[in-house]
């Protein structure tokens, strides 16, 4: 018999942040999208979390929960 393996995410352990594009022209109109990913100790995405984003200087738009452990702003 084969026992199915179910990977359920554990408690949040880390948040990674990626920017796309990684650099922009400082002209007051260029934009970059920030994507935060919440993971557990084993790298599984953790859903049901709240993420806020801020920056020192530029305005950060509203954070959108994508429902899969990732958030964009």
Contacts of 20 (CB under 8 A, 6+ apart): 32, 33, 35
For position 67, what pLDDT does the model report? Answer: 96
Question: What's the pLDDT tens digit per position in 27-57?
Answer: 989 999 999 999 999 999 999 999 999 988 8
Q: How far is CA 69 from the centre of its chain?
A: 7
Whether 15 contacts 51, CB under 8 Å: yes
The residue with greater pLDDT, 58 or 34, is: 34
Residue 65 scores a pLDDT above 80: yes
Compute the distance between CA of residue 51 and CA of residue 65 in angstroms, rounded to an integer. Answer: 8
Q: Cβ of 38: how many Cβ atoms within 10 Å?
A: 22
For position 3, what pLDDT does the model report? Answer: 73
The residue with greater pLDDT, 58 or 65, is: 65
- How does strand 64-65 pair with strand 33-39? unpaired
């Amino acid at each position: 018999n084969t026992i199915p393996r179910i990977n359920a995410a554990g408690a949040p352990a880390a948040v990674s942040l990626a920017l796309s594009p990684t650099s922009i022209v400082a002209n007051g109109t260029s934009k970059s999208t920030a994507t935060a990913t919440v993971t557990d100790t084993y790298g599984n995405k953790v859903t049901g979390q709240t993420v806020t984003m801020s920056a020192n200087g530029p305005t950060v738009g509203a954070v959108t929960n994508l429902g899969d452990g990732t958030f964009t702003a």
